[in-house]
Amino acid sequence: MIEESFVRLYAHDFVQFAGRSELGQDVDEALTRRVREARSHAVLMDRHKGSDHLAALIERVRDEAGRFVGRPMLKDTDPAAAAGRHKRFLVDIADVLSEPEGVVAHRAEGKPGLQIRRLDA
């Protein structure tokens, strides 16, 4: 049985990273670390609590991509544009989580971060 608290914890963290990125904060290093932690924690949870924890997290992150509350925005930011960046950021995280771990590690070699599009770009 998939533990809702596991899914909620990491999905919330990734939404927070999206908000911080929207505000212009550099989240690359912390985001890379949190993705790694989510993957390893999912393996542990699958071993002890049942399977498909990572798949459930990916699904939740994709669901959260469509929800934008509008709080983490700089003054005079277009809300529609911010919502689009929020969605793209979280979809990128879900895509990275969907890839085999070796692909992510290879892609990040020599470059910091996970190749997530920054919200301010």
Mean pLDDT of the residues in the chain = 85
Measured CA to CA, the distance from residue 25 to residue 10 in angstroms comes to 19
Q: Give the chain's end-to-end CA distance (angstroms, integer).
A: 39
Q: Would the pLDDT of 113 be above 80?
A: no
Residue 110: per-residue pLDDT: 42
CA 94 to chain centre: 6
Q: Would the pLDDT of 83 be above 50?
A: yes
pTM of the model: 0.83
Q: Stretch 26-46: mean pLDDT, rounded?
A: 95
Residue 72: per-residue pLDDT: 75
